[in-house]
Structure 1
Amino acid sequence: MNQTIIRFEQVVKQFDDDAPVLKNVSFDIEQGKFYTLLGPSGCGKTTILRLIAGFTDATSGTIYFEGKRINDLPPDKRKVNTVFQDYALFPHMNVFENVAFGLRIKKLPKAEIQQKVHEALRMVQLSGFEERQISEMSGGQRQRVAIARALVNEPEVLLLDEPLSALDLKLRTDMQYELRELQQRLGITFIFVTHDQEEALALSDEIFVMNKGKIQQSGTPVDIYDEPINRFVADFIGESNIVDGVMIADNLVEFVGKQFECVDSGMRSNEPVEVVIRPEDLNIGPVEGGKLKVKVDTQLFRGVHYEIICYDAEGNEWMIHSTRRATEGQEVGLYFEPEDIHVMRFGESEEEFDARLESYDE
């Protein structure tokens, strides 16, 4: 079992008289994993990085590193390094000097600096680029220089604040593979900030989904995608069809005026709920035999599938991802299985949600 390296306990961050940026945030970060803080702009994810790095102070609450309180520990005494969104490289220095900068500040021997810089550049596949000027490098190469500069100080935690956001789509995808491979090879803890859901799903061992200064849900990418805790998470992580429903009894839910078998339980009889079905879990076929009848409105070809928008008789929109082309204006049946239906309770805490999911396996 991995050891906890960072712990937040009821951390609040507030600037002046503004609303708190973080509201009683608590979580554990385990050693050697790739974590992602995911959420919209202004949700508090970069503030968490700054608190870990020591660039800002918590208003209240406690931050631990390897079991020791670090609220008052200065940034240069913390075993973390940060890769910033703009890389913050020195344009007048070559690659070697950029990577060596922190080591020179520490006044390490010249031979040791030489060895550490070459090793860091080898890790990010930039051996031979030591004399290259920063202005002569591509965006992806600059990002790797920034990572090498952070790694050369041998941190136990690497903080990455949206380091891929300035890259084009192809390079961004390539760098995702490189980052993930680098983290697994080094075995150190990465904490990565992004607002890109696909990036979070692709890179992470665990994701913290944030909104308005709170962690809405944490877990593996599969857990969060398959079992979102509320409408915000379901909407933010992937595409979702969300409709109002009523939990009739264990394993039986009603929505769109019909009752359906499901795999959810542990709720009150006739409790109002929200129902999520992912677009890829819906199949279209003949109206006869379909669980719902809908009318095809529009469709777009997305390369690997068609994105089809339909409406039912009550005006609910349904998005379907299908390899089969539909005909606009056609009435079709929607087909899905009980396990494709996910039921969300209003106001359920993450602890209550996790306990309910665990009860399904008992």
Structure 2
Amino acid sequence: MTNQPIIRFENVTKQYDDDPAVLKNVSFEIERGKFYTLLGPSGCGKTTILRMIAGFMQPSEGNIYFDGKRINDVPANERQVNTVFQDYALFPHLNVFENVAFGLRIKKMKGDEIAKKVKEALRFVNLAGYENREIKGMSGGQRQRVAIARAIVNEPEIILLDEPLSALDLKLRTEMQYELRELQRRLGITFIFVTHDQEEALAMSDEIFVLNKGRIEQSGTPTDIYDEPVNRFVADFIGESNIVPGKMIADFKVKFGEKEFDCVDQGFRPNETVEVVIRPEDLEITTRENGKLQVRVDSQLFRGVHYEICCFDEAGNEWLVHSTKKAVVGDEIGLNFDEEAIHVMLPGETEEEFDKRLEAYDEAGHEE
């Protein structure tokens, strides 16, 4: 085992004939033993990345490395990777044991060794004793566990999961999120999970790659992605956000809604046009005279654990508030927030541009 990334994409592009590129010069690294999520809307390129890692598809340009070795032309069956598909791809005419044992029989493993490995894999996914069950009589969650057991029984270095929870109902889906995360921790191998569900990605991942139109918009931990989005797409796609126009007055001071506020952001030019993000849960309702912002309540919905309140400030900006306090439509109220709740972005800035801007700022000798 080495310290280098288990997977590395180097300037990878995928294009079909004259169609627009599905992936556009994508580069990233995957470390061993972590839970990664490829997150983005339909058609953003996340499943294409998964299929390239699996060997079902080759890049049009660029290189893919596994443990430092180029694998562009390595067949799928020679890669130390197993895939759990969205529909699980189980054999309905085979029972649980034979489904899990299928790959081992292809390898011509001895019967007693197959039995031992299948039993261990089923125990890992909490299906001990289900060896003789028929697939057609199992629930969606049980079928998924069988698919995962079939993947791990081959002892791959990476398990790829292509939206495996999408067909489950909400309660079972939540349960399986916990189970998958715990399974990955127990196995200690690399999971790469594809989803368009941002809550799922935030709940399960060590690291997230947010994709849009064939490019990686941002990568990082769930906390990084949620608290420090680099641009409007990420801020809007990950959770709910209030995004309003603003102007950076100086380091740690920004203007929006016709007022100036202290913030924690720096590295912008004075009077630079920016976008300001404040999450709905970071806004606190108070009286109009005690609020940092004065707003008028336009609408309100009860969401069970909180009220979702839509307001407009005096500059015409819309504000979404998540609060346990009930408001009255038409009332003039105040909104308070901490300076740490304010996040400032440059319109259209990419993650690479974001990193370069802060690096240049640090090199210029600025300190917090």
TM norm structure 1: 0.97
Alignment pair present for 1:133 and 2:96 = no
Q: Aligned ranges for residues 223-234 of structure 1 at < 5 Å?
A: 223-234=224-235
CA positional deviation for 1:3:
4.2
Residue in structure 2 matched with residue 247 of structure 1 by the alignment: 248
Distance 1:345 1:9, change over 3 A: same
Query: Does the 8 Å CA contact 2:247/2:271 hold for their aligned counterparts?
Result: yes
Query: Does the 8 Å CA contact 1:7/1:26 hold for their aligned counterparts?
Result: yes
Residue in structure 2 matched with residue 31 of structure 1 by the alignment: 32
Residue in structure 1 matched with residue 96 of structure 2 by the alignment: 95
Gaps of at least 5 residues in structure 1 are none
Instruction: Give the Cα separation in 2 of the matches to 1:190 and 1:72.
Output: 22
> Secondary structure of the residue that 1:332 maps to in structure 2?
strand
Residue in structure 1 matched with residue 274 of structure 2 by the alignment: 273
Residue in structure 1 matched with residue 105 of structure 2 by the alignment: 104
> Secondary structure of the residue that 2:73 maps to in structure 1?
coil
Instruction: Give the Cα separation in 1 of the matches to 2:33 and 2:93.
Output: 35
Instruction: Give the Cα separation in 2 of the matches to 1:361 and 1:191.
Output: 37
CA positional deviation for 1:348:
2.8
User: For structure 1, which segment, 300-309 or 57-66, has the greater mean C-alpha deviation from structure 2 after superposition?
Assistant: 300-309
Residue in structure 2 matched with residue 316 of structure 1 by the alignment: 317
Residue in structure 1 matched with residue 261 of structure 2 by the alignment: 260
User: For structure 1, which segment, 210-219 or 282-291, has the greater mean C-alpha deviation from structure 2 after superposition?
Assistant: 282-291
Aligned partner letter, 1:94: N
Deviations 1:84-112 (Å, cap 9, x if unpaired)? 00000000100001011111111111111
Q: Aligned ranges for residues 91-170 of structure 1 at < 5 Å?
A: 91-170=92-171
Query: Does the 8 Å CA contact 1:2/1:32 hold for their aligned counterparts?
Result: no
Alignment pair present for 1:297 and 2:298 = yes
Residue in structure 2 matched with residue 53 of structure 1 by the alignment: 54
Instruction: Give the Cα separation in 2 of the matches to 1:293 and 1:72.
Output: 61
CA positional deviation for 1:361:
7.3
Residue in structure 2 matched with residue 193 of structure 1 by the alignment: 194
Aligned partner letter, 2:249: I
CA positional deviation for 1:83:
0.1
Query: Does the 8 Å CA contact 2:276/2:342 hold for their aligned counterparts?
Result: yes
Instruction: Give the Cα separation in 2 of the matches to 1:203 and 1:2.
Output: 24
Query: Does the 8 Å CA contact 1:292/1:335 hold for their aligned counterparts?
Result: yes
Aligned partner letter, 1:215: I
User: For structure 1, which segment, 19-28 or 347-356, has the greater mean C-alpha deviation from structure 2 after superposition?
Assistant: 347-356
Query: Does the 8 Å CA contact 2:232/2:347 hold for their aligned counterparts?
Result: no
Residue in structure 2 matched with residue 41 of structure 1 by the alignment: 42
Gaps of at least 5 residues in structure 2 are none
CA positional deviation for 1:2:
6.0
> Secondary structure of the residue that 1:4 maps to in structure 2?
coil
Aligned partner letter, 2:212: N
User: For structure 1, which segment, 283-292 or 163-172, has the greater mean C-alpha deviation from structure 2 after superposition?
Assistant: 283-292
> Secondary structure of the residue that 2:290 maps to in structure 1?
coil
List 4+ stretches of structure 1 deviating above 2 A: 346-349, 351-362
User: For structure 1, which segment, 315-324 or 135-144, has the greater mean C-alpha deviation from structure 2 after superposition?
Assistant: 315-324
> Secondary structure of the residue that 2:321 maps to in structure 1?
strand
Query: Does the 8 Å CA contact 2:141/2:168 hold for their aligned counterparts?
Result: yes
Instruction: Give the Cα separation in 1 of the matches to 2:358 and 2:187.
Output: 34
Aligned partner letter, 2:74: L
Deviations 1:296-351 (Å, cap 9, x if unpaired)? 11111212211111111232211111111111111001111211110001243323
Query: Does the 8 Å CA contact 2:231/2:350 hold for their aligned counterparts?
Result: no
Distance 1:159 1:270, change over 3 A: same
CA positional deviation for 1:249:
1.1
Distance 1:257 1:71, change over 3 A: same
Q: Aligned ranges for residues 217-228 of structure 1 at < 5 Å?
A: 217-228=218-229
Instruction: Give the Cα separation in 1 of the matches to 2:19 and 2:179.
Output: 39
Aligned partner letter, 1:15: Y
Instruction: Give the Cα separation in 1 of the matches to 2:36 and 2:144.
Output: 19
Query: Does the 8 Å CA contact 2:6/2:67 hold for their aligned counterparts?
Result: yes
User: For structure 1, which segment, 264-273 or 165-174, has the greater mean C-alpha deviation from structure 2 after superposition?
Assistant: 264-273
> Secondary structure of the residue that 2:65 maps to in structure 1?
strand
Aligned partner letter, 1:331: E
Number of residue pairs matched?
362
Q: Aligned ranges for residues 167-182 of structure 1 at < 5 Å?
A: 167-182=168-183
Residue in structure 2 matched with residue 214 of structure 1 by the alignment: 215
Deviations 1:180-199 (Å, cap 9, x if unpaired)? 00000000000000000000
Residue in structure 1 matched with residue 333 of structure 2 by the alignment: 332
Aligned partner letter, 1:166: A
Alignment pair present for 1:76 and 2:77 = yes
Alignment pair present for 1:235 and 2:236 = yes
Distance 1:303 1:315, change over 3 A: same
Aligned partner letter, 1:316: N
CA positional deviation for 1:352:
4.0
> Secondary structure of the residue that 1:324 maps to in structure 2?
coil
